[in-house]
C-alpha cells in the first residue's frame, strides 16, 4: 500500500484541547474542570447542529458561543474579559509531547492538517507550537462551509494535496472523525490515547471521567478505524509496515 499523504486532525490529535483545564481552574476555581468538559462537548455539539441546520458559522464563533453557554450553565457570568482569556488559550493549546518527533520522522511524506478550526485558529496554533513549515497545507473546513464528519470536509484533501483518497492515511483521536474519514474512503488510524474505560459502581462520576466515558472509546457505528495506535510516534512504523 502506497501512502503518500498523512493528514492529521488538530484538536485532540496534535493539540491537547484539555490543556485549557489549568487556566479554567485558575480563573474559575473548583468549577474549572466542569467548564473544561462542558465547553468541549458543547463545542462539538454546536458543529453538528449547525451542520444539520445548514447555517454555518466559523469555529472561532462556535467556540466562543459554547464557552459562554458553559460559563452560564455553572453560574458564572461570561464577561468579555473572562471569555477573552479563555479564547486566547485556544490559540495556544499545548502540543502533545510526542508530536514534533512524530512529524520529524514523517517528513518524507506530504503532511497536512484537516480541522474544524478556522484559518485564524490553525495559523495561530501552528505558529505558537513552532510547527510553521511542517505542513504542506492547513486545511480548514471553512473552505467547505461545513464541519466534520460531513463528507465535503474530507473531500477538501484530494485537490489540496493532489492525491487520491486511497493514498491518504487520516489520523485522529476523535471517534466521530474516525467514522467520517473512514466513510469517506481514507485509510484511518485512530489514536487511542487512553484505555477505554467503563463507569465504576458509583453514580457520582466527575466531569473528567464523564468526558472520558463520552469520548474515550470508539463509536458504535459501522465505520471503524483500520488501525489503532496509542501515540503519534506509532504512525511512522505503521506506514513502514503497510509499505512492505
**Domains: count for the chain:** 2
Residue 9 annotated in active site:
yes
Query: What's the pLDDT score for residue 209?
Result: 77
Catalytic residue among 9, 16, 58, 177: 9
Distance of alpha carbon 145 from alpha carbon 55, whole angstroms: 9
Are 141 and 148 contacting, i.e. CB atoms less than 8 angstroms apart? yes
Name 112's bridge partners. 7, 137
Single residue among 89, 119, 134 that ends a domain in this structure: 89
The reply to whether 10 and 23 lie within a common domain is no
Given 66, 89, 112, the domain boundary residue is 89
Q: What is the mean pLDDT of residues 91-111?
A: 96
Does residue 195 have a pLDDT over 70? no
| Res. 53: pLDDT tops 90 | yes
Residue 187 has pLDDT above 60, yes or no: yes
Q: Read off the pLDDT band of 196 (50, 70, 90).
A: low
Supply the pTM of this predicted model: 0.93
Average pLDDT on 176-181 reads 97
- pLDDT band, residue 202 (cuts 50/70/90): low
By CB atoms closer than 10 A (0-12, 13-18, 19+), residue 133 is: exposed
Check residue 91 and give its pLDDT. 97
Q: Mean pLDDT in the chain?
A: 93
- Give the three-state DSSP class for 11: strand
What H or E segment, with its residue span, contains residue 7? strand 5-8
Q: Does 210 score more than 90 pLDDT?
A: no
Domain boundary among 41, 71, 89: 89
| pLDDT computed for residue 222 by the predictor | 85
Amino acid at each position: 500500500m502506497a501512502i503518500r499523504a498523512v493528514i492529521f486532525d488538530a484538536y485532540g490529535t496534535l493539540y491537547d484541547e484539555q490543556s485549557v483545564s489549568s487556566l479554567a481552574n485558575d480563573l474559575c476555581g473548583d468549577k474549572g474542570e466542569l467548564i473544561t468538559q462542558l465547553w468541549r462537548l458543547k463545542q462539538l455539539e454546536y458543529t453538528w447542529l449547525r451542520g444539520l441546520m445548514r447555517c454555518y458559522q466559523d469555529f472561532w464563533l462556535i467556540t466562543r458561543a459554547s464557552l459562554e453557554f458553559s460559563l452560564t450553565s455553572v453560574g458564572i457570568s461570561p464577561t468579555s474579559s473572562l471569555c477573552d482569556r479563555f479564547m486566547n488559550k485556544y490559540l495556544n493549546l499545548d502540543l502533545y509531547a510526542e508530536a514534533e518527533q512524530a512529524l520529524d520522522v514523517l517528513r518524507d511524506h506530504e503532511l497536512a492538517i484537516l480541522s474544524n478550526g478556522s484559518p485564524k485558529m490553525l495559523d495561530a496554533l501552528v505558529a505558537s507550537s513552532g510547527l510553521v513549515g511542517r505542513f504542506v497545507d492547513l486545511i480548514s473546513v471553512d473552505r467547505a462551509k461545513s464541519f466534520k464528519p460531513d463528507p465535503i470536509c474530507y473531500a477538501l484533501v484530494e485537490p489540496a494535496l493532489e492525491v487520491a483518497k486511497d493514498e491518504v492515511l487520516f489520523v485522529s483521536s476523535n471517534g466521530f472523525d474516525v467514522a467520517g474519514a473512514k466513510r469517506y474512503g481514507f485509510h484511518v488510524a485512530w489514536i487511542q490515547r487512553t484505555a477505554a474505560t467503563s463507569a465504576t459502581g458509583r453514580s457520582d462520576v466527575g466531569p473528567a471521567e464523564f468526558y472520558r466515558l463520552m469520548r474515550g472509546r470508539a463509536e458504535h457505528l459501522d465505520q471503524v478505524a483500520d488501525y489503532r495506535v496509542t501515540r503519534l510516534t506509532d504512525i511512522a512504523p505503521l506506514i513502514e509496515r503497510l509499505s512492505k
